[in-house]
């Protein structure tokens, strides 16, 4: 199946045709590590982790890099404010970022290069750009000369004058053109620095991504990703300096994910409305956040609110109750099922896999793919009822079919990085009170049945049914589910 991907560069969906057959290289711009990660920082990693999972499932050998910007004005200011060093601050905030990714099961990233580990590559690239007439040294700084690149502005499809008008351009008498950007910044007193042919200093932000992408993935890569807010100037500048340096296309496809919004505002530190991931995870499961981030198309903005999170969690609880049901019927954990085998299911169920793949192959439409998972869940629950698997002594053939058909759910949810680990049963309940109360009523009903008070047992069952709670009787135990 052809995978179609929307590229910002061409402003249309392109067929995914790798630079090297069978392989995909993917570079995604990572965080500047000066403050703990907020929810908006997780959007790109979760989306591109899911894209990698899908590409791997589609048979590609994928190399995925996210960089860490560990030297920058923001780090210098924040470390001075906190009375610590830039490396100590960077190490602390990077560790927080890694913990957040781990909680969200973003585990497909092959490499997290740090800018400060790549100073020689950055210096070599800057020297090369000067030699080719695309950059110039000026009073301890080095700037890229945007006037030297006739293609400048092609990513954002605007001419350089328009770009400058819409962006914060640093005014400096050291520049030839206002739009020229720093490749190297001379160190001010007390700032961290590295020696260079132009004096002590540090790299600009844009050049580090070009240098690290080329070092780890080669001169031309398949996918360059990042948030929509990085299109200009960061990605425009990365593209200009990389292609000026090599004379080759830097990235075939440019993917930009939508940003997180609360109300009608972007979530950001500068807006002061950011939700720190560590705090959110004290209240919500990481899986709920991951699912929220995948619930719309990746190019759309993501609406964040407490209500949205609770709505997503209620949707996920339906799956968790199904996993309990599966375990009661089959006697095995859903989480132990193999992945990568949806085609083994009966054709009716395998068709859900085909639909899911079609949505993902159409510009990674995770929102529609999630919809297929919910439809599949309904179909599996119906299968249990029609095959009477909840009744005593179900047919062994039907149980075996049920297990095989559940492979579809296991496979597809794994592509989205959902249901990676069991969660404890008592956190599955709708809220802290409802679960134990239902369990207690079921206990009373079981006592009533033992005492042959069938009228009472029936009354409890009917009342729960009115409340949309279904009791599932199994030999030796009873479970329940909503709906």
Task: Check binding of 408 to Zn ion (CB under 5 A).
Answer: no
Smallest gap from residue 204 Cβ to Zn ion (A) = 11
Sign of the Cα pseudo-torsion (325, 330, 335, 341, in order): negative
Q: Which span (23-31, 53-61, 124-132, 383-391) binds Zn ion, by CB under 5 A?
A: 23-31
- 368 close to 359: Cβ distance less than 8 angstroms: yes
Tokens 């990572």: give the residue.
30
Nearer to Zn ion, 123 or 209 (CB): 209
- The least CB distance from residue 405 to Zn ion, in Å, is 43
Among the listed ranges 204-212, 299-307, 347-355, 359-367, the one in contact with Zn ion (CB under 5 A) is: 204-212
Residue 29 vs 302, nearer CB to Zn ion: 29
Rounded to the nearest whole angstrom, what is the least distance from the CB of residue 433 to Zn ion in the complex?
47
In the complex with Zn ion, the residue whose CB is nearer, 227 or 479, is: 227
Tokens of 269: 């530190």
Minimum CB distance to Zn ion, residue 256 (Å)? 12
Write down the residue that tokens 């945007």 correspond to.
146
Q: Rounded to an integer, what distance in angstroms lies between the CA atom of residue 77 and that of residue 34?
A: 9
Whole-angstrom distance, CA of residue 381 vs CA of residue 287: 22
- H/E stretch holding 221: strand 221-227
Q: Which is nearer to Zn ion, 16 or 209 (CB)?
A: 209
Stretch that binds Zn ion, among 94-102, 201-209, 275-283, 404-412 (CB under 5 A): 201-209
Which is nearer to Zn ion, 153 or 479 (by Cβ)? 153
d(CA 43, CA 26): 16
Note whether 29 binds Zn ion by CB under 5 A. yes
Q: Which of 209, 216, 267, 312 binds Zn ion (CB under 5 A)?
A: 209
Residue span binding Zn ion (CB under 5 A) among the ranges 28-36, 141-149, 214-222, 404-412: 28-36
Nearer to Zn ion, 209 or 309 (CB): 209
433-454: b (≥16 Cβ within 10 Å) or e = eebeebeebbeebbebbeeeee
- State yes or no: residue 253 binds Zn ion (CB under 5 A): no
Phi (first) and psi of residue 460, to 5 degrees: -65, -45
Bond from prior residue into 233 cis (ω within 30 degrees of 0) = yes
Helices within 58-200 (DSSP H only): 73-82, 86-103, 119-131, 160-166
- Residue 188 DSSP label: P
Closest CA relative to residue 86, chosen from 99, 98, 69: 69
Applying CB under 5 A, the span of 144-152, 208-216, 326-334, 386-394 interacting with Zn ion comes to 208-216
Binding site for Zn ion (CB under 5 A): 29, 209
């Amino acid at each position: 199946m052809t995978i179609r991907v929307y590229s910002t560069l061409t402003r249309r969906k392109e067929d995914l045709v790798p630079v090297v057959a069978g392989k995909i290289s993917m570079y995604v711009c990572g965080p500047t590590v000066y403050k703990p990660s907020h929810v908006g920082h997780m959007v790109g990693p979760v989306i591109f982790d899911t894209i990698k999972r899908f590409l791997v499932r589609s048979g590609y050998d994928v190399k995925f890099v996210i960089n860490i910007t560990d030297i920058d004005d923001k780090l210098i200011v924040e470390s001075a404010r906190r009375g610590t060093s830039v490396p100590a601050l960077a190490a602390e905030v990077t560790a927080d970022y890694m913990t957040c990714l781990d909680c969200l099961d973003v585990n497909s990233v092959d490499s997290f290069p740090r800018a400060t580990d790549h100073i020689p590559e950055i210096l070599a690239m800057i020297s090369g750009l000067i030699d080719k007439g695309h950059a110039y040294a000026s009073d301890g700084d080095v700037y890229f000369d945007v006037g030297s690149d006739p293609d400048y502005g092609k990513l954002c499809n605007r001419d350089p004058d328009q770009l400058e008008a819409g962006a914060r351009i640093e005014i400096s008498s050291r520049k030839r053109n206002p739009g020229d950007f720093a490749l190297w910044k001379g160190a001010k007193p007390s700032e961290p620095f590295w020696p260079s042919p132009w004096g002590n200093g540090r790299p600009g932000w844009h050049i580090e991504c070009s240098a690290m992408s080329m070092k780890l993935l080669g001169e031309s890569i398949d996918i360059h990703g990042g948030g929509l807010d990085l299109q200009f100037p960061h990605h425009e500048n990365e593209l200009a300096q990389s292609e000026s340096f090599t004379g080759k296309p830097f990235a075939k496809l440019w993917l930009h994910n939508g940003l997180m919004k609360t109300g009608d505002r972007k979530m950001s530190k500068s807006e002061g409305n950011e939700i720190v991931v560590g705090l959110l995870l004290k209240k919500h499961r990481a899986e709920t956040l991951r699912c929220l981030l995948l619930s719309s198309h990746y190019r759309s903005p993501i609406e964040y609110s407490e209500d949205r999170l609770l709505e997503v969690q209620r949707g996920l609880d339906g799956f968790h109750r199904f996993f309990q049901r599966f375990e009661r019927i089959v006697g095995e954990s859903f989480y132990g099922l193999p992945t990568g085998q949806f085609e083994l299911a009966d054709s009716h169920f395998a068709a859900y896999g085909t639909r899911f793949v079609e949505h993902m192959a159409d510009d990674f439409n995770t929102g529609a793919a999630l919809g297929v998972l919910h439809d599949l869940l309904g179909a599996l629950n119906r299968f249990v009822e029609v095959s009477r698997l909840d009744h005593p002594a179900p047919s062994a053939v039907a149980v075996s079919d049920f297990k095989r058909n559940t492979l579809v759910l296991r496979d597809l949810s794994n592509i989205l990085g959902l249901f990676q680990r069991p969660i404890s049963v008592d956190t599955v309940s709708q809220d802290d009170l409802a679960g134990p109360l239902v369990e207690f009523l079921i206990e009373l009903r079981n006592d009533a049945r033992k005492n042959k008070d069938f009228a009472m047992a029936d009354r409890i069952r009917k009342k729960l049914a009115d409340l949309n709670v279904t009791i599932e009787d199994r030999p030796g135990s009873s479970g329940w589910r909503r709906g």
